[in-house]
């Protein structure tokens, strides 16, 4: 090979080497941009979830503070179990309300804990409802602890057609079981403990949700 041929070959090799290096750099940049985009997306979702949770926490605390000023919030009210269960329309509802009342009457009282999911750790509003449904076999995978997700899981019914055992959802993230009776009572976890109160304790609810054997299975 003559000297010009060698020079040409060297130049071709260096050109290919530069192109390969450029391609590697571009690929690395693309990967880094993709990774950064994914991290930024999940960070954004996490911040949004934290903001939403904090807003719901503040709203629930405000609702609870307002409720404690009302005479129809009865945190130590004696519940007539037999009378309440007799009003429930189905065996599943009777089972759910029986467990809800057991937790209500537990001593020492179960504390309110934001994000709590068990009697030992304490409950928040949706934690109490979800735990009760799970113990009754309604939710076999009780990972829907946010009231908004729980609301989507249940079957919506007209508010005026509510029945004992239904779950009542209020603005701000509060949710409670409907007990019914002459006093038109609910039962649920609020700051201060599991409490009973009027159906319109927090004003008109957003929705009433119902579970059935199909959901339980």
The pLDDT tens digits for 111-167 are: 988 888 899 999 988 899 999 999 999 887 766 667 778 888 899 999 999 999 999
Q: Return the structure tokens found at 167.
A: 């779950």
Cis? peptide before 58, omega within 30° of 0: no
The Cα–Cα gap between 179 and 194 comes to 14
Segment 30-43 shows an average pLDDT of 82
Q: What is the pLDDT of residue 156?
A: 93
Q: What CA dihedral angle connects 71, 74, 76 and 81, to 10 degrees?
A: 140
The pLDDT tens digits for 163-216 are: 999 999 988 788 999 998 888 889 998 877 898 888 887 778 889 999 986 665
Q: What is the pLDDT of residue 63?
A: 66
Q: What is the pLDDT of residue 100?
A: 96
pLDDT band of 49, cuts 50, 70, 90: confident
Q: Return the structure tokens found at 101.
A: 């009342």
For residue 65, being part of any structural domain is answered with no
C-alpha angle 23/28/30, rounded to 5°?
95
**CATH at residue 95:** 3.90.1720.10
Q: What is the pLDDT of residue 71?
A: 46
Among the residue ranges 14-23, 28-37, 80-89, 97-106, the one predicted with the least confidence is 14-23
Q: What is the pLDDT of residue 135?
A: 93
pLDDT band of 36, cuts 50, 70, 90: confident
Q: What is the pLDDT of residue 1?
A: 53
Question: What's the domain count of the chain?
Answer: 1
Q: What is the pLDDT of residue 72?
A: 47
For residue 26, being part of any structural domain is answered with no
Half-sphere exposure of residue 172, counting CA atoms within 13 Å on the CB side?
A: 20
- Note down the domain range covering 138: 73-216
The pLDDT tens digits for 86-105 are: 888 889 999 999 999 999 98
DSSP assigned state of 211: -
Place of tokens 């690395």: 28
Segment 38-55 shows an average pLDDT of 79
Residue 20, pLDDT > 70, answer yes
Q: What is the pTM of this model?
A: 0.67
Q: Is 204 helix (H, G, I), strand (E, B) or coil?
A: coil
For residue 178, being part of any structural domain is answered with yes
For residue 44, being part of any structural domain is answered with no
């Amino acid at each position: 090979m003559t000297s010009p041929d060698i020079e040409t070959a060297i130049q071709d090799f260096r050109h290919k080497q530069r192109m390969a290096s450029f391609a590697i750099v571009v690929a690395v940049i693309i990967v880094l941009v993709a990774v950064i985009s994914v991290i930024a997306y999940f960070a954004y979702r996490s911040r949004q979830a934290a903001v939403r949770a904090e807003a719901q926490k503040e709203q629930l605390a405000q609702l609870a503070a307002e409720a404690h000023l009302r005479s129809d919030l009865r945190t130590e009210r004696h519940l007539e179990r037999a009378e309440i269960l007799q009003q429930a329309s189905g065996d599943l509802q009777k089972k759910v309300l029986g467990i809800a009342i057991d937790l209500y009457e537990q001593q020492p009282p179960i504390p309110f804990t934001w994000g709590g999911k068990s009697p030992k750790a304490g409950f928040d509003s949706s934690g109490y409802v979800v735990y009760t449904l799970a113990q009754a076999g309604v939710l076999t995978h009780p990972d829907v602890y946010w009231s908004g997700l729980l609301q989507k899981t249940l079957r919506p019914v007209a508010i005026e057609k509510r029945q004992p055992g239904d779950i009542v959802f209020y603005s701000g993230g509060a949710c409670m079981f409907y007990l019914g009776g002459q006093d038109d009572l609910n039962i649920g976890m609020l700051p201060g403990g599991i409490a009973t109160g009027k159906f319109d304790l927090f004003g008109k609810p957003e929705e009433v949700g119902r579970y059935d054997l199909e959901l339980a299975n």
